[in-house]
Chains A and B, each alone.
Chain A
C-alpha cells in the first residue's frame, strides 16, 4: 500500500497550509499525521483522520475522504515549519507517506 504526499508546501505566516496524502480508497482507512522537526522524534498531531491529541493547537485540523486525506494548518506560525508525514495501516504494518516539508516564508 502506498501513500503519496507532495515534497513541499510553502506558506506565509498567518496563512493556511494544506498538506495532502493520497492512497487507494484512503477514505476507508484511518489516517494519522506526524510532525517532525530537525533532530527530533516525530510528534503525533492528528489521529483517526480528525482528532487532535492533547496539547496540539486548534489550528491543526484533518479530513479524509475518497482517496485523499488532508492536514490543514490555519494561521500557520513559524514554529510549524517541519516535515509532516501521513500514516495509515495495511494490516499490522504502519505505512507512511514520504513526507512533506512545510516552509513558512
Chain B
C-alpha cells in the first residue's frame, strides 16, 4: 500500500524557517517525482516545487523561488520541504504528492495527510 506520511503541525514566528518531511512507503521512492503544494485556509491548491528523488534535481514555482528548498533522502525514502523567511501569509496546509508517471499525462495520485504550518508572533 502506497503511503506518504508527513510530519506534524508546526508553529513558527515571522522570519523563521520550517522544515516538513514526507516519508513514503509501498513503492520505489526514486521512480516518481515528488511535488509540494500549499493550501491556504479556505483557498485552493498551489504548486510550490518538486524534486526528482533519483538525482535530487529540483524545480520551484516563481512565487516561492528563493524561500523554498526541496530535497530527497534516498536512504530513508523521505522528501523534505524547507520554507524560510516565514510570514503570516504562509500559514497554510502543506501537502506532498506523488506524480503518477514521469511521462506525459501524470496526475497527483497519492497525497500526504497534510501539515499545518501556523506563522504567528
Contacts and interface: CB of A to CB of B under 8 A. Distances in A.
Interface of A: 30, 32, 34, 41-44, 47-48, 53, 85, 87, 89, 92-99
A84 B114 CA distance: 17
B111 A42 contact: yes
A85 B59 CA distance: 23
Q: How large is the interface on B (under 10, 10 to 19, 20 to 34, 35 or more residues)?
A: 20 to 34
Interface of B: 35, 37, 44-47, 50, 59, 61, 95, 97, 100, 104-109, 111-114
A82 to B, nearest CB: 13
B6 to A, nearest CB: 10
Given A96-B46, A96-B47, A47 B109 contact: yes
5 contacts: A34-B108, A42-B95, A94-B47, A99-B44, A99-B45
Contacts of A44: 107-109
A10 B35 CA distance: 32
Chain A CB within 10 A, most for which of B50, B100, B108, B111: B108
Closest 7 CB pairs of A and B: A47-B107, A32-B107, A41-B111, A30-B105, A94-B47, A96-B45, A48-B105
Contact of A94 (B105, B108, B112, B114): B108
A94 B111 CA distance: 14
A30 B106 CA distance: 8
Contacts of B35: 94
A71 B97 CA distance: 22
B61 A93 contact: yes
B95 A41 contact: yes
A96 B111 CA distance: 15
A98 B114 CA distance: 19
A43 B105 CA distance: 17
B108 A42 contact: yes
B80 to A, nearest CB: 18
A85 B45 CA distance: 8
A2 B44 CA distance: 13
Nearest to A49: B105
Contacts of A41: 95, 111-114
